[in-house]
Amino acid sequence: MDKNVQEKLFTGMIKFTPPLYKQRYQFIKDLVGKYKPKKVADLGCADCTLLWMLKFCSCIEVLAGLDICENVMKEKMHRLSPLPGDYLQPAERSLTVTLHHGSVAHKDPCMCGFDLITCIELIEHLEESELEKFPEVVFGFMAPTMVVITTPNSEFNPLLPGVTFFRHPDHKFEWNRAEFQSWALGIARCYDYSVEFTGVGPPPTGMEHVGFCTQIGVFVRKYSQTSESVHFEKPTKAAYKTVFKAVYPSLKDEKYLQNAVVSEVVFTAQVIKRSLLAHLKSEHEEYNDSPAEIKSKFQHSKNCVSEDPEKLAVERSMEPFVNGNVVYIPLTKIFSFPKVNQLCGTFDKLCKLITGKVTLSSDGSAVMVNTEHENEEEEN
């Protein structure tokens, strides 16, 4: 069939599922899943949707966005703030999210040292003078390990309903695959990167010759950043304005780690206490003891070998015991619980983090938990 006739048939029928912008974001998410970058920046981040999606990738510790339009960034930037749940259950990893107002035509040291920089549907919005500076700023100065650039493939345009010239009135150009690839290969050569081409939004059957709707270049830096091949001197002057910064609560921060450990120790101690008391109760019930007798026996559990809690602590074992109205739970027992163990790493760290925050026996070897409340419950 004649190519023009075929194009006419397809025009108006193209509908991407999921929508093309989601396919672009998914492409980045898959790449992040594969390469696990710690520091990721999105240039031309607009309303920060991609950044918001990326904040859920647990490998990422630093997320940054840059856009020339401050208002568009501010529209939904609240989505990048930590939620109450982030404070209630701080994550293992640290995460800082920062948004900058500025242009990709300017150098600012805050964009150096990234593992991945994404430029999704950005380059076609750049003025000629900005596009000229872009390679030197992104590949020469920012010099991340990986850069992903996406841009419309103009060869696909005849298949898009209503597109007669460019896909968007703000586009300064739209390239076909040869134009994009020649530009990208030139940059890769100049700045010592490799580049591979792919895309999202596949053409319909019979129209494969037009390529993907969105063309993508994935650049990987060939040299190590610590080597002398860092070509350009880094200015220290800031060119961007920081408009948003969120530091997420993390267990890497001693303050949050201490809270988490103390909560877990108190919870674990309660679990152990309940289980010990239930065990003692079932033993006494076998002998038909009255509630008052049970209470009295709780105060002298069979584990209790001495009246002196200090002495008891010295005679410490892994097992908890009751003395009077107090259950003594050896820290070694608590440390053997996987969650506590995982949080603290070492026994010394556990001791350090709970000292002064949890009631301990005078030699510091056991957590003391009162049984009084428990006994009252029994009597009621």
Q: Which of 43, 110, 47 is nearest to 73 (CA)?
A: 47
Give me the least distance between CB of 241 and ligand SAM, in Å please. 13
Of 129 and 380, the one with the shorter C-beta distance to ligand SAM is 129
Give me the least distance between CB of 153 and ligand SAM, in Å please. 15
Give me the least distance between CB of 20 and ligand SAM, in Å please. 10
Give me the least distance between CB of 338 and ligand SAM, in Å please. 42
CA distance 53 to 26: 9
Of 47 and 374, the one with the shorter C-beta distance to ligand SAM is 47
Binding site for ligand SAM (CB under 6 A): 21, 43-46, 49, 66-69, 72, 103-105, 120-122, 125-126, 130
Of 56 and 287, the one with the shorter C-beta distance to ligand SAM is 56
Amino acid at 225: Q
Inter-residue contact 103 to 70 (CB < 8 Å)? no
DSSP labels, 94-110: --EEEEEE--TTS--GG
Exposed, middle or buried by CB within 10 Å (0-12, 13-18, 19+), for 232?
exposed
Of 106 and 349, the one with the shorter C-beta distance to ligand SAM is 106
Give me the least distance between CB of 120 and ligand SAM, in Å please. 4
Inter-residue contact 70 to 243 (CB < 8 Å)? yes
Of 73 and 188, the one with the shorter C-beta distance to ligand SAM is 73
Of 119 and 350, the one with the shorter C-beta distance to ligand SAM is 119
Of 30 and 308, the one with the shorter C-beta distance to ligand SAM is 30
CA torsion, ordered 175, 177, 179, 181, to nearest 10 deg: 130
Q: Which two tokens stand for residue 6?
A: 């075929």
CA distance 282 to 270: 18
CA distance 234 to 185: 24
Q: State the residue for tokens 């594969």.
A: 34
Q: Which of 250, 270, 246, 248 is nearest to 260 (CA)?
A: 250
Give me the least distance between CB of 237 and ligand SAM, in Å please. 18
The residue number with the shortest CB distance to ligand SAM is: 44
